[in-house]
Amino acid sequence: MALDTTAEVKAIARYIRMSPFKVRRVLDQIRGRSYREALMILEFMPYRACTPVLKVLRSAVANAEHNNGLAPGSLVVSQAYADGGPGLKRYRPRAQGRAYQIRRPTCHITVAVAPLADE
């Protein structure tokens, strides 16, 4: 199962209001799998992170189909990663007039698909 990285097509979702650690747990499951397999896995996994990952995967496949003329059935998830985005800073009121800082994490999800190279 050799991947041809020359025709790699990717899609990026930025500033997703979710922890990159939780998104990586989902991305690890689809990396290296075919498009159809990845769709089935994402459809039935119980995590909230599956929704944005599914949207990015569909976008990457649409890019490959529209821009490069590749068939969706021949595509494989060649790269899938989540980088940390800027954290949103919020404050929680505490006793005696104090304020505790809360960091709301964001992430950038990148999914790249490539055609399966015939051996």
* Domains along the chain with CATH numbers: 5-91+99-115 (3.90.470.10)
Mind listing the pLDDT tens digit for each residue in 59-75? Answer: 999 999 999 989 999 99
Structure pTM? 0.87
Which DSSP helix (H) or strand (E) runs through 64? helix 50-68
Containing 19, the helix (H) or strand (E) segment is: none
SS3 9: strand
Task: Compute the radius of gyration of the chain from its Cα atoms.
Answer: 18
User: Tens digits of per-residue pLDDT, 77-108?
Assistant: 999 999 999 999 999 999 999 999 999 999 99
